[in-house]
Amino acid sequence: MQTIEQISVLRQQISDWKKQGYTIGFVPTMGNLHQGHLSLVEEAKKHADKIVVSIFVNPMQFGKNEDLDKYPRTLEADSQALIAAQVDLLFTPTPQIIYPKGLDNQTWVEVPHLSELYCGDSRPGHFRGVTTIVNKLFNLVQPDIACFGEKDFQQLALIKTMVEDLSIPIKIIGVPTVRETSGLAKSSRNGYLSEAEKQQAAVIYQNLTQLKNQLEQGDKNFAQLIVKTKQNIYQAGLTTDYVWILDSKTLQPADKNTNSIVILIAAFLGSTRLIDNIQVKLK
């Protein structure tokens, strides 16, 4: 596996591969890799000849009081995991390489409306940072396909929208969430939790599963279901940021005629913010 930091070297390697007719799969990450990230790599290998992974802790998507400084950086362990996964190229730029003029002078890319809902409402500017860096990485790597986890369901929807709106010739592939045995969605931020807290946090997925069952049984009282779910999560010692029952295609609130649903939950355990979702297909 090649590890490349400089843009010019990356561009040369990508150009060489394209001249040889290779297709390129891309997995952008912020590092501190876990099995969820590696599942994205495995999926990308099904669709492309050469696999590129980026590790870049993107300062543009962190708010002023968020965990940018303490976000775990584990490049050596990440590199070993990617070598074992037979990744071809690891791109590890610095903020100075990605944003040479500084964040305040950086052109940004933003998907309107959807960026301001749900996680976007709780974390103003977050999704602008996500879509800007993903767009920039797409321009640098020029992949044929790119894989993103369904755990960040709103992020996946935003990236698909951006690619469609800007006519970017990349196929976006969503990959199912990888979970702990307790059901807790694997996340780099789980590293902030003790083993006991991880078991406690599994209440999020337990409630998602319960909500899914209730919807499948025909319960359409969404407001009451949401209130009860928030109570359950609170009683387990977490603070709910939001619970939404949405149309999975539009990410607008579901109504009684919606048959393709996604339930989104965000909650805090202490200062650690956790997100998860589950999709529901109704007859």
Q: What is the mean pLDDT of each run of 10 residues along the chain (283 residues)?
A: 98 98 98 97 98 98 91 96 98 98 97 97 97 98 98 98 98 98 96 96 98 96 98 97 98 96 98 97 91
Amino acid letter at 182?
Answer: S
Question: Which residues are known to be catalytic?
Answer: 37
Q: Angle CA(207)–CA(281)–CA(149) in degrees, nearest 5?
A: 70
- Per-residue confidence (pLDDT) for residue 65, from 0 to 100: 85
Strands 24-29 and 50-55: parallel
| Residue 273: strand pairing partners | 268
- Per-residue confidence (pLDDT) for residue 199, from 0 to 100: 97
Can you state the angle between helices 203-216 and 222-235, rounded to 10 degrees? 160
Phi, psi of 51 (to 5 degrees): -115, 125
pTM for the full predicted model = 0.96
- Per-residue confidence (pLDDT) for residue 64, from 0 to 100: 87
CATH 3.30.1300.10 in the chain is located at 188-278
CA torsion through residues 142, 21, 54, 273, sign: positive
Write down the H helix ranges in 56-125. 75-84, 95-98, 119-122
> Which residue has 């996340």 as its token pair?
187
Q: Is 109 left (phi over 0), alpha (psi -120 to 50) or beta?
A: beta
The tokens for 162 are 């951006």
What's the CATH architecture for 188-278?
2-Layer Sandwich (3.30)
Provide the CATH topology of domain 2-175: Rossmann fold (3.40.50)
CATH 3.40.50.620 in the chain is located at 2-175
